Amino acid sequence: MEQHFVIKGALDSVTLKDFQTQLSKIKFDGTMFDLYPTPGPNQKKDAEHIEIGTSKESEISQNNLNSIWQSINKTVTEKLGTIYPTYGVFNESVTPMVEHVDAIPTQRDYNLKPAYTLILPLESDVKCHTVVWDVTSEYPVKFQDQKIVGSTDYQHTEADKKLLSHCDKKVFGWGKPYFYEWIAGDIICIKRDHVHASDNFMVDNARATKKSILLLTRFDYS
């Protein structure tokens, strides 16, 4: 099974419109969430959380999660085999995300084999990407050793460097960064233990916005 890829045109136009309409009705209450506010093992005592990037989020109810899953289940499981959704949010990025993983020991499905993060881009006013490396890590990336599973033989272009300018310098030792452009209707799939980030979508426009549905999935039902 591939560890990261995109399902092009995964949503039909009716489903895409439905998700975008749901998104437009979300009243983000202004609360900024760091996606991973859990203190890491080697963190300083006074650190509140690991800074990865901030988002406005609205959790998707269990009922709605089931209904969203029904719309995409067939397409997704054809590619990924049987997986189950654990958690979903409507998300608006506020600042770019640095390199991180989505499998975290404190998550409620951590013992149920974390599967893929599914990113459903719905709206953006700037060309933007999710970037993934052939690298796995325990959480948190900042304090753990990473395992490079691909080749490190890669020359970064100037464009790569610009898109990764918010990340730690160590990402340039990890080989090719795979950029998945955000296109509404696609689903970007990333194994949750694989290191990924957003690009620096604000580098030329500090007011740029991007919105999506994010789903975390698992392999074991219970």
| Smallest gap from residue 71 Cβ to Fe ion (A) | 22
Structure tokens given for 79: 């590619």
State the pairing for strand pair 114-124/178-181: unpaired
Indicate whether 34 belongs to the interface with Fe ion (CB under 5 A).
no
Q: Which residues contact 83 (CB under 8 A, 6 or more apart)?
A: 76, 77, 115, 116, 217, 218, 219
| Smallest gap from residue 219 Cβ to Fe ion (A) | 18
Nearer to Fe ion, 70 or 95 (CB): 95
| Smallest gap from residue 36 Cβ to Fe ion (A) | 9
The piece of 10-18, 76-84, 95-103, 171-179 that touches Fe ion (CB under 5 A) is 95-103
Q: Which residue is nearest to Fe ion (CB)?
A: 102
| Smallest gap from residue 4 Cβ to Fe ion (A) | 11
Number of residues that bind Fe ion (CB under 5 A): 1
| Smallest gap from residue 214 Cβ to Fe ion (A) | 7
The three-point CA angle 130-131-137 to 5° equals 120
Nearer to Fe ion, 19 or 36 (CB): 36
Indicate whether 57 belongs to the interface with Fe ion (CB under 5 A).
no
The piece of 21-29, 49-57, 102-110, 155-163 that touches Fe ion (CB under 5 A) is 102-110
Between residue 130 and residue 189, which ones bind Fe ion under the rule CB under 5 A?
none
- Nearest Cα to 19, choosing from 27, 11, 28? 11
Nearer to Fe ion, 11 or 188 (CB): 188
Indicate whether 102 belongs to the interface with Fe ion (CB under 5 A).
yes
Query: What are the two backbone dihedrals, phi and then psi, of residue 130, each rounded to the nearest 5 degrees?
Result: -100, 140
DSSP annotation string for 45-103: TT--S----EEEEEEPPHHHHHHHHHHHHHHHHHHH-S-EEEEEEEEEESS---SB-S-
Q: Are 145 and 183 in contact (CB under 8 A)?
A: no
- Binding residues for Fe ion, rule: CB under 5 A, are 102
